[in-house]
Amino acid sequence: MALPLTDQAIAKIKDLIISGELSAGAKLPREQDLAASLGLSRNSLREAVRALTLVGVLDTRVGDGTYVTSLDAEVLLTGMAFVSDLLEGKTLLEVHQVRRILEPVATGMAASRITDDECLALEACLRQMDDAATDQGFIDADTEFHRIIVVASGNATLASVIQNLSGGMARARLWRTITEHDAVAITKQRHHDIYTALRAGDAEEASAADVIHLADGERWLQRWLARAPSVVAPDAAEPGVPFLKLSQTAQ
């Protein structure tokens, strides 16, 4: 069965990139010229360009033309973050399990590569978690803490995969801080344990500390999903509610 015309157009542009005829950063020929050379209608080509722009392969600049992006993992994997935000139920748990497999590896790698500046940035995140006035502020500092670490791993692809997978967990992490007694104190301690190991350059300890931290979250998520039909959805939490008020509610 022949592929739909738009899919054929996407495949042909992809082949141009793979062959090197269109390299990263290259500008595509004029629409009418490219359509003619590929044997496509301009409508099919236009739809293909839109689709490839959405997934980060092409970048259309108004008044300038269409370019191949840098094709870096950070750009190409952004679509994964969009999808992860929509995940629910069992699939959300499975994504967290994938994160639990990958992130401790990145954390261990970071132990030998993390810079003094990055350690200072982690310290700032820990202070922000201590000083957070709202649950969202706490989660933001938590998210930045992990972002710094996976970037410090030195593997941009691994870092992008982990960060984009983690996006869908934001609601669940917020809900955990609201509903679970001592969740905030436990999370702070886990982050301090990870930081201490990284500061000491101990890859094995840093990885183990992250495993423990993520296992805590996975156990909570399993419990939450088991009773999910009887609780309010995570994104129904009132935004901007003072942190102490939410913590007291959890108690």
Whole-prediction pTM: 0.70
Pair (14, 92) in one structural domain: no
Nearest to 136 by CA among 169, 170, 165, 87: 170
Pair (12, 102) in one structural domain: no
Strand partners of residue 242: 134
User: Residue 134: what pLDDT?
Assistant: 85
Pair (45, 95) in one structural domain: no
Q: Where does a domain end: 71, 104, 127? A: 71
What does the pLDDT look like over 54-110, one tens digit per residue? 888 999 998 899 999 988 877 777 666 556 555 556 777 888 899 999 999 999 999
User: Residue 155: what pLDDT?
Assistant: 95
What does the pLDDT look like over 157-174, one tens digit per residue? 999 889 888 765 665 666
Pair (139, 63) in one structural domain: no
First to last CA, the chain: 60
User: Residue 230: what pLDDT?
Assistant: 38
Domain CATH number, residue 109: 1.20.120.530
CA–CA distance from 7 to each of 11, 41, 65 (Å)? 6, 13, 22
Pair (198, 245) in one structural domain: yes
User: Residue 246: what pLDDT?
Assistant: 37
SS3 content of the chain, % helix, strand, coil (to 5): 75, 5, 25
User: Residue 142: what pLDDT?
Assistant: 92
User: Residue 226: what pLDDT?
Assistant: 79
- At position 166, the amino acid (one-letter code) is S
Identify the three-state secondary structure at position 21.
coil
Pair (85, 184) in one structural domain: yes
Q: Where does a domain end: 47, 71, 95? A: 71
Going by the DSSP 8-state scheme, the letter that residue 68 receives in this structure is E
Pair (97, 37) in one structural domain: no
Nearest to 71 by CA among 151, 152, 17, 31: 17
Q: Where does a domain end: 33, 48, 71? A: 71
Domain that holds residue 110: 76-250
Pair (9, 64) in one structural domain: yes
Pair (109, 149) in one structural domain: yes
Residue 164 burial (CB < 10 Å; 0-12/13-18/19+)?
A: buried
Mean pLDDT per 10-residue section of the chain, whose length is 251 residues? 79 93 94 93 93 88 91 72 59 85 97 98 97 88 95 94 75 61 86 98 98 90 69 42 38 32
Q: How many domains does the chain divide into?
A: 2
Pair (51, 107) in one structural domain: no
Pair (61, 95) in one structural domain: no
